[in-house]
Structure formats: structure tokens, C-alpha cells
Amino acid sequence: MELSGLVRALRLEGPRDGGQPEQPPPAVPPAEQVLFQIGLLFSEGAGGAPKAGVLKDLGALVEAADCRWLFGGMSPATLGELVAALNGYAAPPEQEQDAPDLPGKDSTYAATAERAADVGSVFLHLLVKLEAAKTQESLGVPMVGPILCRVMEPLYIFAATHIAERPWTNARSQSVAQELLALLVRATGCGSVAEFLRGKNEDEEGRFGAVMGLLKQELTKDTWKRNPATKFVFSWTLPQVTRPWLSHYLERVLPPSLLISDDYREENKILGVRCLHHIVLNVPAADLCQFNRAQVVYHALYNHLYSRGAPLIQAVLLCLLDLLPILERAQRQQKQTRPTTACDEVLQLVLTHMEAEHRLALRRVYARTLPAFVQRLGILIARHLKRLERVILGYLEVCDGPEEEARLGILETLQCTIEHAWPRMPCRLPVLLKALLKMIWDVHTDQGSMPELVKAALLQGATKCLILLDRCSEGQVKVLLEGVYSSCEENRIRECIRKVQENT
């Protein structure tokens, strides 16, 4: 075992600026003295020593050391400070609060990934030794337990920082982080990362509260952008904690989620909205409505509807669809009577944007989510029929590419609208019938790259709309289609008309 680099580094730790070197209390075990000095070496502001070589020597020392020598009489605080110092050494470089978006894998981040892989290897050796020490009579769980409790949260944050593909990671650092997290979960007697964070049952407290305690200082308005990994650690950790555990931590997770979603960068907005969506799905409605939390979330999401990014709009609409029932339930409980609901407000704004939207990506997002809003309002969709009709007619007319997501979504919207607001449909029959027949003809005669399965889906959706219109108009569609059937020579179109005529 070569420890020359480690020895040289520790000798370099002499008095600085004329002061006396920091020393641990007298009569401490040799291992604690060594680890204490190494912690000082890697602590913030310490420099001038060959840290990369020391790190490799430290890994060799931990791997080869006897458990009794390493942990006998060891103070959990000393080991905790060492882990924290190494964690900081492997962290991505800090950024300015309003720095531009993260760069690619440049030399700075490549060096961070290599440091993280080396630090992760040391942590792996340390966990292996802690597991081995549990079985020794002279140490056992009473000695190892407090040490493990002191280091498990920093080890988790290190693993979550480097476990996924980021600018500051590479294949080696990700592999080490994944192995470290799996070993940490086993060492704590848990079966999964979620169990490690939330506890094995509702009465048992997991480590999520302690992890959030460490992240708290980095998730404030003035600090959350400095460490580029903080938002990813938070957003990767939050989904692991579900109902009913998450409600215990609502005050800790809601403010940072709102903070991230309120950023000016779209990628951060999407990240924050996804965190809010997880909270909405996994926190009881009563807790969300307390102190008007649900209203705060609603207004934050509603403001994002003015954005122009399709991924953000999709995330916001999906979150709103799950939040709106909670708001309406709170309204009923408070016996508030309003001419319109939050769902009406959202749908009104969405239809306004849809009517003027020309970008296909946004048209597809709007059309995919529109049926769910119609289902939510039910018969109350009659309030929006005038504008909704204009949107349906406009979207049926425009081809939006090989998959035809927008037109398929609009056909589903029309079906839902007819089912819920059927008394209002007969007066709109001439306009809707003309639009559907024109779309059927356009799809049948399309010579582009539209797949046959997509053509079949469009024709089937249009046929279903015609059947529903015929039912609510007491057979008027059958009468109007008789002349079309007799004069049409296209078998595919005749087949669609025949299905309508034969339907009873």
C-alpha cells in the first residue's frame, strides 16, 4: 500500500499565517487524528497539497485498514466532517446567481467528474468497512450505528448529485454513484431508495427530513442557483416520497418548488412545475387548501399559460388538470358561489391561445389536453361552445404532420363535447357536418407521408363524430348523407357514410 502522497500532504499541514495548526483533542485514536487532518486538507479554502494523490491514498488506507483501528473510539463528528469535506471537493463549481445556462462537458466539468469518481470510491470503501464492523464483537451496531447515522445524508446527496447524466458527470462517476446509493440503501436495512427516504411504514420517519435539512440552505432565493446540482438533487429526490408521507414535509418542499418554477429559464420552470405536480398528486386536498396553498399554486401555474414553450405548457396543463378538482372542492366546502370556476378561467385562456396559435408543437399540446378539460366541465362546456366551435373547425382543417396529433385530439374533443352538450348540437349540425366531410376527403386523398394507421384513426374518429351528431339530431345526419353516398365513388368514404347510416 503506497501512502507517500498522504504522508507528504499531512506534513504540509503546518501553521498558516503565523497561527497555530488546528489539532484534535488530545488522547484521540490514531485513525481519528489521520482522518481529522485529511478533513482539514479537503475543507474549503485549504490549498497547496496534492489532493488527487491524497484521495487515492485515502481510499487505499480505508480499504486496507482493520475495522477496529479505523472505527474503534472514532467520533461520528470527525467522520461526518470528512465526508462533508470530500463531498464539497467533488461538487460542481459554483456559478454566479444569474450565470448563463450550463455549458457542455468542458474541461472544468470533466475534472469534476473525475474527482467525483475518486471520492465515490473512497465512500464505497468506507461503507463496506462499516458493514463489516457491524459483525465484529468489539464494535457492532452500537459503535457503527451513530457513525452511519452521521454520514448517510451527505452520502445520499453525493450519490444523487452524480447518479444521472449531467454536465459534471461521466460514465465512471455515474456508475460509482449508483453503486454507492445501492450499498447505502442496503446498509440502512432498506429495500429501496424510496424506503430509505420515507421510512418502511407511515409511523416510521425516514431520512427525507434530514436530507431536506442539508439542502435547506442551498434552496433559498439567493443561493439555489449557485450550486448547479442543487435543483437536480431536489427534483430527483422529491418523487421518491409519495402519499401519505409527503404531507409531513409539505412546508419544506412547496417553497423550493414554487421558487424553481418562478425562474425566467424555461428548463427551470418545467422542473419546478413537475415538482408542484408531484406535490398536488401526493398531498391530501385538505392540506393543500389550508392557508390557501392550492390558490398560490394555481396562480403560479396560471401565469405560465402565457408562455410560448410547448414542453412547459404541457407540464402546466397536466398539473392544472389535477389541481382544479381540489380548488373546486374547497370552493364547495366554503359555500362560495361563482359564475365561473377555475376550470372555466383556464379553458377560456387556452381557447384564446389555441385560436391564434400557428406553431404545430403548441397546437399538438393544446389539442391533446383539451378533451380532459371538456370532461372536467361536463355540461358546463356549453359556456364555451362558441369559441370552442371556432377552434374545432380551425384545427380540423389543418394537417399537422405524419402523426396528426392535433387533429386526433380535436376529434376526441368534439366527441366529448357532443356527448356532454348534445342539446346544443343540432343548431351547429350544418357547420360541423361540412367540416367533418371535408376532413374525411382531405385525409383520403392525402398523397403525403401520412401512415395508413393514422389515416384509419382519423377516419374512424370522424365517423364516430358523425354517428354522435346523428343521434343528437334525431337522424338528420343520415338524411343529409344520402345524397353524398349515392354520388360518391370513393369506397373508403362510402364505407364511413355506410357506418353512419347503419348505426341505430
Domain regions of the chain by residue span:
1-96+106-206
pTM of the model: 0.89
Give me the pLDDT at residue 5, please: 54
Q: Quick one: cell of 429?
A: 349540425
Give me the pLDDT at residue 365, please: 96
CB environment 443-455: b (16+ within 10 A), e (fewer): beeeeeebeeebe
Q: Quick one: cell of 144?
A: 457503527
Give me the pLDDT at residue 336, please: 62
What one-character DSSP code corresponds to residue 290? G
Give me the pLDDT at residue 12, please: 44
First to last CA, the chain: 86
Q: How far is CA 431 from CA 170, 388, 464, 470, in A?
A: 58, 13, 17, 14
Segment 427-434 long-range contacts (CB within 8 Å, at least 24 positions apart):
428/385, 428/389, 429/469, 429/473, 429/476, 429/477, 431/389, 431/393, 432/389, 432/392, 432/393, 432/465, 432/469, 433/466, 433/469, 433/477, 433/480
Give pLDDT < 50 ranges for the chain: 1, 11-21, 26-27, 46-49, 103-104
Give me the pLDDT at residue 21, please: 46
Give me the pLDDT at residue 74, please: 77
Amino acid, single-letter form, for residue 175: S
